[in-house]
Structure 1
Amino acid sequence: MRVLVTGAGGRLGQAVLPRLLDDGFTVRATSRRPRSDPALEWAVADLATGTGLAEAVSGVDAILHLATEPSSGRRAYQVDVLGTRRLVVAAGRAGVRHLVYTSIVGVDKVPIPYYRHKLAAEQVVAAGPVPWSVLRATQLPEFLDELLRTASRLGPTIGDPGILAQPVDRGEVGVRLAARLAAGPLGGVEELGGPEVLRFDEAVRAWRTARRSRRPLLPVRVPGRLGRALRDGGLVSTALPRGVRTWGDYLADTYGGTGRR
């Protein structure tokens, strides 16, 4: 099967591409700038403008749509919503038989602009002419790690202790995506979460232990609807099966500490 992968150079793409190649897929990857790799074919395409999309989708059996713009600005709408629409239209014209879209658990519950864009993109995919599947994954541990480093720039780690998270290993997301491509269109949404649900303060303690840090947690409650959604499990999935690699496993691999809380 020949698969086009958008967003192939991103964090998730870097984990997915080796899995697809190992599973025997023929891979064409997109980038906004020319790249070369003997293991796969790179195509230049830009979701924000539509440049190169018709050529990129030509001759492929399926599309794995990973590309996203994680911000709240106009470019996020251009890429995630309008760009997805451009891709779906081009794929329909090219006779693509399956489009898999990667989304995020909570896009229908957590009221932030980026999530609204992701939900709108899901709706574009579902309404399009190409048979489809959507995989919503919980947050990657790399994202949580970056969030904690940002929250600690002023000294203490600032955050709402009651927020719930469920980090899932990006390699395990890649395995699920490859399996979905092989299985064919779902015509619906499936979810993948990590093996454990953590309160923010639990995640901070493990992170601090792994980094051998003494930074205290400065509790600041997130107000309003957003705070309620985050504390009520808006970022958490009850779907089974779940991933197996834990937050502690990620911390041990990254920092060498045990990450034991």
Structure 2
Amino acid sequence: MNRDSIQQLLEQVAGGKMDIESAMSELVHLPFAELAHSTLDLHRELRQGSPEIIFGENKTPQQISDNLIRIHAAHGKALATRVGADKAAEILATWSPGLPAPSYQPSARCLTLGLGQAASPADGERYVAVVTAGTSDLAISDEAALTLQFLGHRFVQINDVGVAGLHRLFPHLEVLQKATCIIAIAGMEGALPSVLGGLLPGPIVAVPTSTGYGIARDGETALHAMLTSCASGISVVNIDNGFGAALFAHALLRQF
């Protein structure tokens, strides 16, 4: 149950269209739902502005399915991140035909339920620019983009414009300047967020990725570089955390 449905429920009670006992029966499961394996936070959207999102790694296909169904029942949509292709295939193969079917995006490693197609931002509409330094960073970009879509935000993706060929960035500067927020994703030396931070006015969420050889140390070098950036207005999330970057952008956009 989200904020809109609670408001409608209260309006029905206030207008005499629903008695208190009926309203109480609707609200009894509001705070959380206890499943055999999970305790789902159904109050999170009301409290924080976004429903609980399932972290699929280390969960079984059955646990992910159960959680998707229950969260979808409460909010009309559900998202599970970090779901490998084999696990997703098992979920889809055993899904009940009487329920809305989930959709799997392999590049993002995400399962969604009740989510439509992404729409491009209209003229004058706020959006987030999701920018990658290299093609190897696309999985994290797709995770961030799908999470933004789930949270109700428009976005544009700009890919493979890192410092190895910085001229590739210049044709996109107008789009980047108009963005309300930018998610900058880079591995190797993690330089892209610093470049964007020196050129653009909006807030930047930097995402280090585990892309790189040897001393890149699975993203630690990029993480340290982003944390020590000379450019101002940059916030940094954990390595490969496209989901966390989208949630941070969501929190920023909710304040405007």
- Same fold by TM-score greater than 0.5: no
Instruction: Give the structure-2-normalised TM-score.
Output: 0.32
Q: Which has the larger radius of gyration?
A: 2
Q: Which has the higher helix share?
A: 2
Instruction: Give the structure-1-normalised TM-score.
Output: 0.31
- Relative contact order, higher structure (CA 8 A, sep 6+): 1
